[in-house]
Amino acid sequence: MLRDIGDISEHIDTEDAAVRIRNNIWFRGPNVWILAFSIIVASVGLNVNSTAVIIGAMLISPLMGPIVGVGYSLGTNDFHLLKQAGKNLLIMVVISLLASTFFFLVSPLNLVNPTELEARTSPTIYDVLIALFGGLAGIFETSRKERGTVISGVAIATALMPPLCTAGYGLSNLNMHYFLGAMYLFTINSVFIALATYATVKFLGFRQADFLDAATAKRQRTYITLIVIAVIVPSIWSAVSLVNHSNFERKIIGFVSDNKTYSRSYIYDYKIKDGKKAEIFLTGEPLNEVERAQFLLTAERYGIRQDDITINDHSSAPANDEYERMVRSIYDRADEEMARKDARIRQLEEQVLSLRGEDIPYGQLAREIRFRYPDVQEVTITRGASVAADTLGARPRIMVLAGSKKHLAAKDIDEMKEWLKVRLNDSTVVVMNIN
């Protein structure tokens, strides 16, 4: 059953796929204009930090055509087509770089925090996986008879145009970090999309262009292996660095969050440098040597080495009397406010406990009274106050009205009152008998 589910033989048309791959390689006609439009859209999206606009550029970019063509020509041993695909890809890349560089040179907008640009300057092994499996999905979609929406998803996932525009931004600002990082991401995407195409073409048995002798085949595999290693090794190193940086930042955030107030100082900010060093900013009274040592030991419990933390509490600068008085005043007011709130909380807690203690189990008491005094048919229990006519002073009372067919004896009423005082732990109980 599983074999039938995974069987693709009836859904694949390699001849039609080969025609479409060849047609998408050429950089002429509509592809020239579509490339120009996608360059502008991607550059604008990066310039205004808009993810939606960048996704639009990914969808309309024709860059994937020659990249898939490179993988296809390698897989079918069509070296003439390989030269054409490589040539068209190079032209597209150069035009994209020139156009995006010009756009960012004339653009008046300069973002303070260009997150969409920065996101494309530090590729990792995860980008390799995205390109590889995205490329596999793309060539399978191209090869099947029915047309779906997979190609659009592949275009978004592999993101070929934004890295080129980011590289153009780096050139326009003479920022080699942006340029090299973005070009490396584009290279990763291109190589592994082509590699996925090459493997799928071999797997699906596309028609070979000409005979490939053993020596040439071995040389081709060697070249492919070297290219893959050259591309993937730096990305693995980048991924390891990314994980380490993320773990370090998580530790710092946990440490700062749990130790906001330390002695007479307060952590008001922190900065992480190069993903492996942190500077902690404190305000208040500078830490003495013992407190600084204890502060660093506390950080070690979060897995942070002492050498990885720099404490910035202005302790090396001359003290400013006015500044110290201001900080001390802030702390004193904060202490007073906290003490006032603590007192109010205790008062409210006492009131809650008092109210809970004043709860009267009316139903249970009524059953117990009727059991002890069978003549009692109805019991009314209420909490109130007795007000003196002369002083108008109010005293709390628990009133119990025992309704019976015949009048209860005085000793029974007194006995009920004394029992209820013990039962309710309240000496203010008053019992009255009504007929």
pLDDT value for 323: 54
Kindly state whether residue 292 falls inside one of the protein's structural domains.
no
CA angle 85–90–93, rounded 5-degree value: 125
Q: Is 284 left (phi over 0), alpha (psi -120 to 50) or beta?
A: left
- As a whole number, the mean pLDDT across the chain is 78
Among residues 156, 188, 210, the one where a domain terminates is 210
d(CA 128, CA 164): 17
Measuring CA to CA, which residue among 230, 195, 238, 208 is closest to residue 71?
Answer: 195
Kindly state whether residue 239 falls inside one of the protein's structural domains.
no
Burial readout 93-111 (b: 16 or more C-beta within 10 A, e: otherwise): bebbbebbbebbeeeeeee
* Strand locations in 206-298 (E): 261-262, 265-273, 277-284
> How does strand 309-312 pair with strand 265-273?
unpaired
* Strand locations in 371-426 (E): 376-387, 394-404
Position of tokens 């996101």?
119
Contact 189, 158 (CB under 8 A): yes
> Minimum mean pLDDT among 165-179, 211-225, 394-408: which range?
211-225
> Does residue 146 or residue 174 have the better pLDDT?
174
Q: Is the pLDDT of residue 170 over 50?
A: yes
Kindly state whether residue 230 falls inside one of the protein's structural domains.
no
pLDDT value for 357: 46
Kindly state whether residue 13 falls inside one of the protein's structural domains.
yes
> Minimum mean pLDDT among 47-51, 213-217, 285-289, 421-425: which range?
213-217
Kindly state whether residue 98 falls inside one of the protein's structural domains.
yes
Q: What is the pLDDT of residues 337-378, one digit of tens each?
A: 777 888 888 777 766 655 554 567 777 888 888 888 888 888
Kindly state whether residue 426 falls inside one of the protein's structural domains.
yes
- In order, the DSSP letters of 293-346 are HHHHHHHHTTT--GGGEEEESSTTSPP-HHHHHHHHHHHHHHHHHHHHHHHHHH
Three-class SS of residue 113? coil
pLDDT value for 145: 72
Q: What is the pLDDT of residues 199-233, one digit of tens each?
A: 888 888 888 766 556 677 677 777 777 776 776 67
Contact 206, 71 (CB under 8 A): no
The token duo for 392 is 């108008």
Chain length of the chain:
435
Among residues 210, 225, 257, the one where a domain terminates is 210
Where does the pLDDT of residue 317 fall: very low under 50, low under 70, confident under 90, or very high at 90 and above?
A: very low
Kindly state whether residue 281 falls inside one of the protein's structural domains.
no
Q: Is the pLDDT of residue 150 over 80?
A: no
Measuring CA to CA, which residue among 23, 234, 59 is closest to residue 154?
Answer: 59
Q: Is the pLDDT of residue 147 over 70?
A: no
Amino acid at residue number 369 = I
Total structural domains in the chain?
Answer: 2
Say which CATH number the domain at 373 has: 3.30.300.30
CA 85, 91, 95, 96 torsion-angle sign: positive
CA 231 to chain centroid: 28
pLDDT value for 30: 79
Task: Find the domain containing 178 and state its range.
Answer: 2-210
Among residues 189, 210, 231, the one where a domain terminates is 210
Other beta carbons within 10 Å of 164: 29
- Describe the strand order of the beta sheet including 309-312 as a list of residue ranges: 261-262, 265-273, 277-284, 309-312
State phi, psi for 434 to the nearest 5 degrees.
-125, 145
Three-class SS of residue 234? helix
The token duo for 89 is 């890809």
Q: Is the pLDDT of residue 396 over 50?
A: yes
> Does residue 101 or residue 114 have the better pLDDT?
101
Q: What is the pLDDT of residues 46-61, one digit of tens each?
A: 887 787 888 877 777 7
Most confident among 23-32, 52-61, 153-162, 397-406 (mean pLDDT): 397-406
Kindly state whether residue 349 falls inside one of the protein's structural domains.
no
Measuring CA to CA, which residue among 154, 187, 166, 193 is closest to residue 61?
Answer: 154
Where does the pLDDT of residue 393 fall: very low under 50, low under 70, confident under 90, or very high at 90 and above?
A: low
State phi, psi for 44 to the nearest 5 degrees.
-65, -45
Position of tokens 């070296």?
79
State phi, psi for 259 to the nearest 5 degrees.
-130, 40
* Strand locations in 107-195 (E): none
Region 73-89 average pLDDT? 83
The token duo for 321 is 């009397």
Three-class SS of residue 103? helix
Helix (H) or strand (E) holding 184: helix 176-204
Q: What is the pLDDT of residues 8-19, one digit of tens each?
A: 666 777 888 888
